[in-house]
């Protein structure tokens, strides 16, 4: 970041800029709209209804491959016959996904070339296919690509450059695989610790998630998504997916409009404004209506109000589920009618050819207007033109992708991981460990690269180590490389859920100076990640407890996608490092932090709960704090949102307000001095929280309104300045509109608080 003595942070957060605009147009990269519109018109003039409904169909690669869906022939190969049935006979416009596991970059190129040749040379319209894939933390379905930390870890860096660079590299390596469309980022707000996709989000705070989400969209799409190093981004999953009342994947959410607008919508609004080219619909149901059938959300809100112009693609099989799971449609055909009329442009069918056939019948029967079809096709073709697919269905020039899987990219992934890892506890400054220590490394995640990467890593669930990136170390391997084999002993101790050899781990602990216990979760995503119990599995807690009893100091390293409860064992540990899902460089980053070659600077982007029934976010209301003795101690998380220690110390002083009163035409600035009072250089995240002291809607105790990550050398002081606009004090009021009410507000930075007054 900035190295000047004075840093002026002008907060023009897109989130807040949008608060007062009820409707606005999509901006983002500067395309020549009229030129693209003309091209789209000229293609559409030649399209029959069959061409159009085909264009709105997205099928899985399983449908054009040898073998059966979910059980494809190995080694993978396309079926010439199925390819023609799908593309030429049925005019399918989009293909997605991977057949079970990642492919080499060469294989991807061969497949995409084959698909585009058939589409462009044999399909009557010659329209190229738009291939889409889950580029979740890098081009994870291409072997040898760079795997970055997952989104929750990127959020923990509190530095948007990592979101942007990760997406840029992901885009580069996805295009290197000849694929132009990434199903990322996840813009769902991560406010429920139980939810199995929490780690795919940027955590619980709206402001942090919005800043990160915009950076990621910009990273994917660049200035021109048609260039050889960028792809189309997808805002996922519109809308309300992450807050199911059960905490389980794809179960019902009930979200009042006020909360929806305040907590759920801002990330999507900002990403729309940043020009995101596509959106994927939430598979779940909100307020009793499956979102795929909700016209108010998909057309009223997304199009009429937000001005989104890109493609709205369904999620996996979700139109079919309107009938088979949600039970709001009697037949598959009725489900298609509902979804397309509600505003779905493209159906991720993805495993049969019923959709185009039934949709065509619906148009012929007058149940889906041709204008709705034309609108959807126009959006799809517009994105295909914006991606340059008609001119360049892929880029073959020599040397274009030389950086694929390079050291340079690996270093960027390492930097992100090293700034994500969060030091939650460090009693008696036990960390960093001295390099002449003898260390026992134990626990189920000590020697597992799949654990470091989590879901969406080479396979959907990310559990198969046979696809691990070659040469990337686990935590154990990285420590051994740094300290030498003989200084680091290893005993498994437990699997995720069961004891293996705790006794041996205990015996080994007695012969070592420290025990680094690497625990947490195995990879998962979506339904397979549903939980019955947020406690860390008993076997792992027994391991920590047994080792602590030996008297050998325990350093607990958490590798997990959501905060599993550890309140019984935490007091028995000396230090705790939260690694989240740090990706392929996580082993190196964690080893460097344990040994002091990197200074931790990550901060929690979520509240880490202490008990399973106390799942309360940091921006809760005052009533949430009232405890059983009628005091205000009920909010007592294990670690707070924004918490994270360093190997140096920082002091805050001299908080200054430019003016302590301002009105709707003005602004104020608040500045603070931050000094590195320790003896190592380090980074600090300066966080500005605002409390609305009295409001017409119960105010949160505080809300994050801005942040800045700064680097400070020992003894150095920097002044950080934030500018506050009326929008930065706003909330969604009784009329479901953003408002800023007159009154007193408290500003908190570090341990210091000052009041300001806002007047009309």
Annotated catalytic residues are 315
Burial class (CB in 10 A: 0-12, 13-18, 19+), 429: exposed
- In whole angstroms, what is the distance from residue 647 CA to residue 712 CA? 12
Residue 285 in contact with ligand BGC, rule: CB under 6 A:
no
Burial class (CB in 10 A: 0-12, 13-18, 19+), 31: middle
SS3 sequence of 700-736: ECCEEEEEEEEEECCCCEEEEEEEECHHHHCEECCCC
Exactly one of 137, 229, 230, 236 binds ligand BGC (CB under 6 A); that residue is 236
Residue 183 in contact with ligand BGC, rule: CB under 6 A:
yes
Q: Closest by alpha carbon to 9, among 157, 151, 155, 159?
A: 159
- Minimum distance from CB of 199 to ligand BGC (Å)? 13
Decide whether 280 or 423 has the Cβ nearer to ligand BGC. 280
**Residue 547 Cα to chain centre, angstroms:** 35
Nearest-10 Cα torsion for 249, 255, 261, 264: -10
- Minimum distance from CB of 402 to ligand BGC (Å)? 29
- Minimum distance from CB of 97 to ligand BGC (Å)? 5
- Read off the tokens for 439: 């260390």
- Minimum distance from CB of 328 to ligand BGC (Å)? 19
Decide whether 239 or 554 has the Cβ nearer to ligand BGC. 239
Neighbours of 53 (CB within 10 A): 30
- In whole angstroms, what is the distance from residue 131 CA to residue 59 CA? 10
- Minimum distance from CB of 234 to ligand BGC (Å)? 7
DSSP character string of 278-345: EEEE-SSEETTEEGGG-HIIIIIIIIIIT---SEEE--TTHHHHHHHTS---SSHHHHHHHHHHHT--
- Minimum distance from CB of 316 to ligand BGC (Å)? 4
- Minimum distance from CB of 89 to ligand BGC (Å)? 25
Residue 585 in contact with ligand BGC, rule: CB under 6 A:
no
Decide whether 186 or 359 has the Cβ nearer to ligand BGC. 186
- In whole angstroms, what is the distance from residue 166 CA to residue 526 CA? 22
Decide whether 150 or 617 has the Cβ nearer to ligand BGC. 150
DSSP 8-state code for residue 260: I
| Residue whose beta carbon is closest to ligand BGC | 183
Decide whether 65 or 283 has the Cβ nearer to ligand BGC. 283
Q: Cβ(479)–Cβ(441) under 8 Å?
A: yes
- In whole angstroms, what is the distance from residue 161 CA to residue 214 CA? 11
Q: Cβ(283)–Cβ(318) under 8 Å?
A: yes
Q: Outline where DSSP puts E strands in 433-472.
A: 439-442
Per-residue contact string for residues 493-532; x = within reach of ligand BGC by CB under 6 A: ---------------------------------x------
User: What are phi and psi for residue 64, nearest 5 degrees?
Assistant: -125, 15
Exactly one of 57, 97, 323, 448 binds ligand BGC (CB under 6 A); that residue is 97
Decide whether 99 or 602 has the Cβ nearer to ligand BGC. 99
DSSP character string of 343-396: T--BEE--S-SHHHHHHHHHHHTTSS-HHHHHHHHHHHHHHHHHTTTTT-SS--
Q: Cβ(46)–Cβ(125) under 8 Å?
A: yes
Decide whether 282 or 675 has the Cβ nearer to ligand BGC. 282
Decide whether 136 or 700 has the Cβ nearer to ligand BGC. 136
- Minimum distance from CB of 59 to ligand BGC (Å)? 12
Decide whether 273 or 315 has the Cβ nearer to ligand BGC. 315
- Read off the tokens for 440: 């026992």
Total binding residues for ligand BGC by CB under 6 A? Answer: 9
The interface with ligand BGC within residues 293-322 (CB under 6 A) comprises: 315-316
Half-sphere exposure for 374 (CA within 13 Å, toward CB): 13
- Between β-strands 285-286 and 67-68, what pairing exists: parallel, antiparallel or unpaired? unpaired
Exactly one of 55, 134, 262, 728 binds ligand BGC (CB under 6 A); that residue is 134
Tell me which H or E stretch contains 270.
helix 266-273
Roughly what angle, to the nearest 10 degrees, separates helices 332-342 and 370-386? 70
- Minimum distance from CB of 667 to ligand BGC (Å)? 39
Q: Which residues are paired to 375 by β-bridges?
A: none
Decide whether 294 or 474 has the Cβ nearer to ligand BGC. 294
- Minimum distance from CB of 318 to ligand BGC (Å)? 9
Binding interface with ligand BGC (CB under 6 A): 97, 134, 183, 236, 280, 283, 315-316, 526
């Amino acid at each position: 970041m900035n190295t000047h003595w004075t840093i002026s942070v002008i907060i023009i957060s897109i989130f807040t800029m949008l608060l007062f605009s009820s409707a606005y147009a999509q901006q983002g990269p500067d395309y020549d709209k009229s030129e693209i519109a003309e091209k789209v018109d000229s293609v559409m003039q030649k399209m029959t209804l069959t061409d159009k409904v085909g264009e709105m169909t997205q099928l899985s690669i399983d449908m054009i491959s040898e073998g059966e869906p979910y059980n494809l022939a190995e080694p993978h190969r396309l079926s010439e016959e199925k390819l023609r049935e799908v593309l030429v006979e049925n005019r399918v416009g989009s293909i997605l996904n991977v057949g079970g596991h990642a492919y080499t970059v060469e294989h991807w190129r061969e497949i995409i070339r084959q698909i585009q040749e058939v589409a462009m040379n044999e399909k009557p319209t010659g329209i190229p296919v738009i291939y889409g894939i889950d580029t979740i933390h890098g081009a994870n379905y291409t072997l040898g690509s760079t795997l970055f930390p997952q989104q929750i870890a990127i959020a923990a860096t509190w530095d948007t450059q990592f979101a942007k660079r990760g997406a840029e590299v992901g885009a580069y390596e996805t295009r290197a695989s000849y694929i132009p469309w990434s199903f990322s980022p996840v813009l769902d707000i991560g406010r429920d610790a139980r939810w199995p996709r929490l780690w795919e989000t940027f955590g619980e705070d709206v402001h942090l998630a919005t800043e990160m989400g915009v950076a990621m969209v910009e990273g994917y799409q660049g200035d021109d998504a048609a260039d050889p190093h960028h792809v189309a981004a997808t805002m996922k999953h519109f809308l309300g997916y992450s807050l199911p009342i059960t905490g389980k994947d794809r179960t019902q959410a009930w979200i009042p409009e006020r909360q929806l607008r305040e907590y759920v919508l801002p990330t999507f609004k900002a990403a729309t404004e940043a020009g995101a080219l596509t959106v994927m619909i939430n598979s779940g149901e909100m307020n009793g209506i499956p979102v795929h059938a909700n016209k108010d959300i998909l057309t009223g809100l997304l199009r009429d109000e937000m001005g989104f112009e890109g493609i709205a693609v369904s999620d996996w099989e979700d139109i079919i589920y309107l009938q088979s799971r949600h039970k709001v449609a009697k037949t598959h055909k009725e489900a298609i009618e509902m979804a397309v009329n509600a505003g779905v442009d493209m159906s991720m069918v993805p495993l049969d050819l019923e959709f185009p056939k039934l949709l065509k019948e619906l148009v012929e029967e007058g149940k889906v207007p041709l204008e709705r079809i034309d609108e959807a096709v126009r959006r799809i073709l517009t994105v295909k033109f914006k991606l340059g697919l008609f001119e360049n269905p892929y880029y073959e020039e020599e040397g274009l992708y030389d950086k694929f899987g390079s050291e340079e990219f690996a270093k960027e992934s390492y930097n992100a991981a090293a700034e994500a890892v969060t030091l939650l506890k460090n009693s008696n400054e036990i960390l960093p460990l001295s390099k002449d220590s003898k260390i026992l490394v134990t626990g189920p995640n000590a020697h597992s690269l799949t654990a470091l990467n989590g879901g969406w890593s080479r396979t959907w669930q990310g559990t198969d180590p046979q696809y691990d990136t070659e040469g990337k170390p686990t935590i154990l391997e990285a420590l051994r490389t740094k300290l030498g084999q003989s200084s680091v002993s290893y005993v498994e101790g437990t699997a995720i859920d069961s004891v293996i050899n705790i006794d041996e781990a205990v015996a080994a602990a007695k012969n070592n100076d420290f025990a680094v216990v690497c625990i947490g979760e195995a990879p998962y995503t979506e339904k397979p990640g549903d939980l019955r119990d947020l406690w860390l599995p008993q076997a792992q807690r027994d391991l920590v407890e047994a080792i602590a009893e030996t008297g050998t100091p325990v350093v607990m390293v958490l590798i997990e996608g959501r905060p599993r409860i550890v309140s019984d064992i935490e007091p028995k540990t000396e230090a705790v490092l939260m690694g989240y899902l740090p990706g392929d460089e996580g082993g190196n980053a964690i080893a460097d932090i344990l040994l002091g070659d990197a200074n931790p600077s990550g901060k929690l982007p979520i509240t880490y709960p202490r008990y399973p029934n106390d799942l309360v976010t940091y921006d809760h209301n005052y009533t949430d704090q009232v405890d059983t003795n009628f005091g205000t101690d009920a909010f007592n998380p294990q670690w707070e949102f924004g918490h994270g220690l360093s190997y140096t110390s920082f002091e805050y002083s001299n908080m200054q307000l430019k003016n302590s009163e301002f009105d709707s035409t003005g602004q104020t600035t608040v500045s603070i001095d931050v000094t590195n009072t320790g003896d190592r250089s380090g980074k600090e995240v300066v966080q500005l929280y605002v409390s609305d002291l009295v409001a017409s809607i119960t105010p949160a105790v505080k809300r994050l309104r801005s942040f800045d990550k700064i680097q400070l050398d020992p003894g150095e002081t920097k002044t950080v300045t934030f500018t506050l606009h009326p929008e930065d004090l706003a909330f969604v009021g009784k009329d479901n509109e953003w408002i800023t009410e007159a009154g007193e507000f408290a500003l908190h930075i570090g341990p210091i608080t000052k009041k300001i007054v806002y007047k009309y």
